[in-house]
């Protein structure tokens, strides 16, 4: 699992049929101290996140497990919204 901040939304009028009805968000990876890391990614939102929110996301084979449609071609999925981070 990784942390990120949602910085934008992607609208795709044509996409894989297995992605119809999903919300695509641009997520900027962040470090434990909240610093921005390089290379924002496009994630599937499974929890109702919005722009400006800190989130937890997964990538790779774990991302496809976050949605009900196991045939959806997903590389990254938001699985949680962060309320606070302590101890760092």
Residue 85 is assigned to a structural domain of this protein: yes
Residue carrying structure tokens 């722009």:
51
Is the separation of the CB atoms in 65 and 38 below 8 Å? no
Per-residue pLDDT reduced to its tens digit, 21-66: 999 999 999 998 989 999 999 999 999 999 999 999 999 989 989 9
Is the separation of the CB atoms in 59 and 76 below 8 Å? yes
- Residue 59's domain comprises 1-30+53-88
* Beta pairing, strands 76-81 & 2-10: unpaired
- Cα 70 from Cα 50, distance rounded (Å): 24
Residue 46 is assigned to a structural domain of this protein: no
Count: domains in the chain? 1
Which among 54, 73, 42, 61 is positioned nearest to 6, based on CA atoms? Answer: 54
Residue 43 is assigned to a structural domain of this protein: no
What's the pTM value of the predicted model, to 2 decimals? 0.93
Dig out the tokens for 36 from the structure: 């921005």
- Cα 34 from Cα 37, distance rounded (Å): 9
Residue 48 is assigned to a structural domain of this protein: no
Residue 78 is assigned to a structural domain of this protein: yes
| CATH number (domain holding residue 64) | 2.40.50.220
At 7, the pLDDT band (50, 70, 90 cuts) reads very high
Residue 88 is assigned to a structural domain of this protein: yes
């Amino acid at each position: 699992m990784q942390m990120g901040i949602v910085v934008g939304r992607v609208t795709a009028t044509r996409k894989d049929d297995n992605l119809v009805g999903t919300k695509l968000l641009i997520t900027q990876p962040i470090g434990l101290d909240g610093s921005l890391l390089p290379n924002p990614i496009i994630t599937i939102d499974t929890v109702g996140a919005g722009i400006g929110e800190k989130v937890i996301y997964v990538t790779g084979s774990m991302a496809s497990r976050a949605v009900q449609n196991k045939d959806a071609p997903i590389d990254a999925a938001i699985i949680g919204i962060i309320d606070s981070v302590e101890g760092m």
